[in-house]
Amino acid sequence: MAFAALAVLTLMVALDGTSISVALPIIAKKLNGTAIEAFWAGTSFLLASTVFQPTFASFSHIFGRMAVIMLSITFFFVGVMMAALSNDFTLLLVGRSIQGIGGGGIISMTEIIITDLVPLRERGKYAGIIGGMWSIGSVSGPVIGGALANTWRWIFWINLPFIAVGGVMVPLFLRLNVIPQSLATKLKRVDWIGAVLFVGSMTSFLIPITWGGVMYPWSHWRTLVPLLVGAAGLIAFCFYEKFLAPEPLLRLSVFANRTANIAYFTTALHGLILWCLLYYQPLYFEAVKEYKPIIAGVALFPATFTVAPLAVVTGFLITKTGRWRWAIWSGWAISTLGLGLLVLLKVETRIPQWIFIDLVSGIGLGILFPSLQFQLQAASTQKDMAFAVALFVFFRSFGQALGVAIGGVIFQNEMVNKLQAYPRFVEQASELAKDAAALVEIIKHTSIEDGKLDLQTAYTDSLRTVYIFITALAAVAFVASLFIKGYDLNVALETDQGLIQKQKKEDIRAEEGEAAAEKSVVPAV
Q: With cut-offs at 50, 70 and 90, classify the pLDDT of residue 324.
A: very high
pLDDT digits (tens, 9 = 90+) for 198-246: 999 999 988 888 777 667 777 888 888 999 999 999 999 999 988 888 8
Q: Is 72:59 a contact under the CB 8 Å cutoff?
A: no
Q: Looking at residue 434, what is its pLDDT?
A: 75
| Domain identity same for 96 and 133 | yes
* Cβ neighbours for 185, distance < 8 A, ≥ 6 positions apart: none
pLDDT digits (tens, 9 = 90+) for 60-109: 888 988 899 999 999 999 999 999 998 888 899 899 999 999 999 999 89
**Among 175, 210, 233, residue at a domain's last position:** 175
513 assigned to some structural domain: no
**Mean pLDDT within 410-414:** 85
pLDDT digits (tens, 9 = 90+) for 362-405: 899 989 988 998 899 999 988 888 889 889 989 988 898 888 77
Q: Looking at residue 3, what is its pLDDT?
A: 87
DSSP label at residue 384: T
Q: Looking at residue 267, what is its pLDDT?
A: 94
pLDDT digits (tens, 9 = 90+) for 156-178: 999 999 999 988 999 888 888 77
pLDDT at 34 > cutoff 50 = yes
* Nearest-angstrom CA–CA distance, 329 and 183: 46
Q: Quote the number of domains for the chain.
A: 3
Tell me the CATH number at 101: 1.20.1250.20
pLDDT at 1 > cutoff 60 = yes
* Nearest-angstrom CA–CA distance, 120 and 328: 17
What DSSP line would sit under 26-82, residue for residue?
Answer: HHHHHTT--HHHHHHHHHHHHHHHHHTHHHHHHHHHHH-HHHHHHHHHHHHHHHHHH
| Domain identity same for 154 and 226 | no
pLDDT at 26 > cutoff 80 = no
| Domain identity same for 81 and 165 | yes
DSSP label at residue 250: S
180 assigned to some structural domain: no
| Domain identity same for 215 and 334 | no
517 assigned to some structural domain: no
* Cβ neighbours for 415, distance < 8 A, ≥ 6 positions apart: 429, 432, 433, 436, 439, 458, 459, 462
501 assigned to some structural domain: no
447 assigned to some structural domain: yes
| Domain identity same for 132 and 199 | no
| Domain identity same for 159 and 68 | yes
| Domain identity same for 233 and 282 | no
| Domain identity same for 211 and 153 | no
More confident residue, 292 or 351: 351
DSSP label at residue 502: P
Q: Looking at residue 513, what is its pLDDT?
A: 54
Q: Looking at residue 506, what is its pLDDT?
A: 45
* Nearest-angstrom CA–CA distance, 331 and 345: 22
Q: Please state, as a whole number, how many other Cβ atoms lie within 10 Å of the Cβ of residue 427.
A: 11
Q: Looking at residue 502, what is its pLDDT?
A: 53
Closest C-alpha to 139, from 15, 42, 286: 15
- Amino acid identity for residue 432 in this structure: L
| Sign of the alpha-carbon torsion through 491, 495, 501, 504 | positive
Q: Looking at residue 514, what is its pLDDT?
A: 53
436 assigned to some structural domain: yes
* Nearest-angstrom CA–CA distance, 53 and 58: 9
Which residues form the domain of 233? 191-246
Closest C-alpha to 33, from 98, 91, 109: 91
| Domain identity same for 151 and 38 | yes
Q: Is 199 helix (H, G, I), strand (E, B) or coil?
A: helix
Q: Is 454:443 a contact under the CB 8 Å cutoff?
A: no
497 assigned to some structural domain: no
| Domain identity same for 154 and 71 | yes
Q: With cut-offs at 50, 70 and 90, classify the pLDDT of residue 525.
A: very low
Closest C-alpha to 134, from 157, 114, 149, 154: 114
Q: Which residues of 473-508 are buried (b: 16+ CB within 10 A; e: fewer)?
A: bbbebbebbeebeebebeeebebebbeeeeeeeeee
514 assigned to some structural domain: no
* Nearest-angstrom CA–CA distance, 459 and 412: 10
Helices and strands of the chain, counted as H and E runs: 22, 0
Q: Is 19:155 a contact under the CB 8 Å cutoff?
A: yes
On average, the pLDDT of the chain sits at 85
| Domain identity same for 61 and 165 | yes
* Cβ neighbours for 247, distance < 8 A, ≥ 6 positions apart: 189, 190, 191
| Domain identity same for 479 and 395 | yes
* Cβ neighbours for 111, distance < 8 A, ≥ 6 positions apart: 130, 373, 389, 390, 392, 393
**Among 120, 149, 175, residue at a domain's last position:** 175
Q: Please state, as a whole number, how many other Cβ atoms lie within 10 Å of the Cβ of residue 111.
A: 22
